[in-house]
C-alpha cells in the first residue's frame, strides 16, 4: 500500500500480528528482499517493510538524499501508520537509517538490529569507493542488469553464485525492480561524507550481525561497533554481506533469539 509521509508517497507492506518489527532494506534493494524473513517473523510480530525513498515503488523526487532524510522518512511513516514504538532491523544502508532514527527519536526504537551495516566508525575501503564509482557509472547508463549483477556478486561469499545460482538470480531480480534515476539519487546519499555517529547515545538493546566474508563490513568493524555501543551483542555468520539471504535460517534464528530476550 502507498502511504503519504514526509511529503512523498512511500510503498509499504504489513503482515502478521503482535509487536511491531520494521525491516529496512539496503541500497539497491527494495522491500521484496525480505522473502526469507517476512514469512518467519510475521508468525510472531507485526512486520512492516517499506521501500526507502528512491527505491522500489516509493517516490524518488529530485533533490539531495541523505541518511538523515531517510531516517526522517521512516519516522514520518511510523507516525502515519500510528506506530509509536517498534523493533527496527536494518540491513546495510538500512542499518544506518535505523541507527539514525534511534539517535533522533530514541522513544520510538525498542531495540535495534544492525545487519551487515557499517555504523560510520571507519571510512570506506578503497575497494568500496571504487566499486561505488563503477555502480554509479552503470546507473548513469541506465544499465540495470549490469548494476544488479555487480551488486549481487558483492553481496555474497565469493563462491555463492556457483553453489546457489537460483538464490543468486532471485536476489538479482529484486535489484532489477528499481528505477535507475531513484537508485542514482539514493547512492548519492552514501557518497556524501557525514561525521561518525555518537554511539554512546544509543541506550536501547542492540544486536550487530556481521558476515565472515563481508566485503563491505569486516568482522573487525563489527567488533569496533560492539565496543562502542554499551551492552550490544555481536553475532558472526559464515556469509558475505547479505547474511539474511545467504544463511536465512541462521540469520532468522539470531534475530528471533535476540528479540525474545528484549524487554
Q: Is residue 43's pLDDT more than 90?
A: yes
What is the mean predicted confidence (pLDDT) over 203-220?
95
**CATH assignment of the domain containing 48:** 3.40.50.1820
* 31-45, 61-75, 144-158, 193-207: least confidently modelled range: 193-207
Give the tens place of pLDDT for each residue, 167-200: 999 999 999 999 999 999 998 888 776 778 889 9
Report the alpha-carbon distance of residue 206 to residue 261 in Å, rounded. 11
Report the alpha-carbon distance of residue 64 to residue 82 in Å, rounded. 28
Instruction: Give me the phi and psi of 86, to 5 degrees please.
Output: -160, 160
* Residue 135 confidence (pLDDT): 84
pTM of the predicted model as reported, rounded to 2 decimal places: 0.96
Give the tens place of pLDDT for each residue, 108-146: 999 999 999 988 777 666 777 777 788 888 888 888 999
The C-alpha angle 126, 242, 73, rounded to 5 degrees, equals 85
Q: Pull the grid cell for residue 262.
A: 528484549
Name the H helices within the chain.
38-41, 67-80, 93-104, 126-140, 144-155, 160-163, 165-175, 180-191, 219-228, 243-246, 248-261
* Residue 136 confidence (pLDDT): 82
Domain hosting residue 209, numbered range: 2-261
Residue whose cell numbers read 563503477: 134
Q: Is residue 78's pLDDT more than 80?
A: yes
Instruction: Give me the number of domains the chain comprises.
Output: 1
Amino acid at each position: 500500500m502507498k502511504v503519504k509521509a514526509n511529503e512523498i508517497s512511500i510503498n509499504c507492506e504489513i503482515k502478521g500480528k503482535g509487536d511491531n518489527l520494521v525491516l529496512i532494506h539496503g541500497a539497491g534493494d527494495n522491500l521484496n528482499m525480505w522473502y526469507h524473513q517476512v514469512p518467519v517473523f510475521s508468525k510472531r510480530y507485526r512486520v512492516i517493510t517499506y521501500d526507502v525513498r528512491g527505491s522500489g515503488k516509493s517516490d524518488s523526487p529530485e533533490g539531495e538524499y541523505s541518511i538523515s532524510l531517510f531516517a526522517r522518512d521512516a519516522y514520518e511513516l511510523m507516525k502515519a501508520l500510528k506506530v509509536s514504538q517498534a523493533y527496527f532491523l536494518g540491513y546495510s544502508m538500512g542499518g544506518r537509517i535505523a541507527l539514525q532514527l534511534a539517535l533522533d527519536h530514541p522513544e520510538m526504537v525498542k531495540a535495534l538490529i544492525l545487519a551487515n551495516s557499517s555504523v560510520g566508525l571507519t571510512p570506506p575501503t578503497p575497494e568500496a569507493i571504487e566499486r561505488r564509482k563503477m555502480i554509479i557509472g552503470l546507473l548513469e547508463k541506465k544499465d540495470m542488469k549490469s548494476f544488479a549483477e555487480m551488486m549481487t556478486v558483492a553481496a555474497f561469499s565469493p563462491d555463492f553464485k556457483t553453489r546457489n545460482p537460483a538464490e543468486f538470480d532471485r536476489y538479482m531480480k529484486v535489484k532489477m525492480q528499481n528505477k535507475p534515476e531513484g537508485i542514482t539519487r539514493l547512492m548519492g546519499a552514501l557518497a556524501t561524507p557525514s561525521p561518525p555517529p555518537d554511539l554512546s547515545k544509543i541506550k536501547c538493546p542492540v544486536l550487530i550481525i556481521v558476515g565472515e566474508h563481508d566485503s563491505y563490513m569486516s568482522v573487525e568493524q563489527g567488533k569496533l561497533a560492539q565496543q562502542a555501543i554499551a551492552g550490544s551483542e555481536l553475532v558472526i555468520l559464515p556469509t558475505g554481506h547479505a547474511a539474511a539471504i545467504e544463511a536465512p535460517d541462521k540469520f532468522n534464528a539470531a534475530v528471533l533469539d535476540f528479540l525474545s530476550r528484549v524487554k
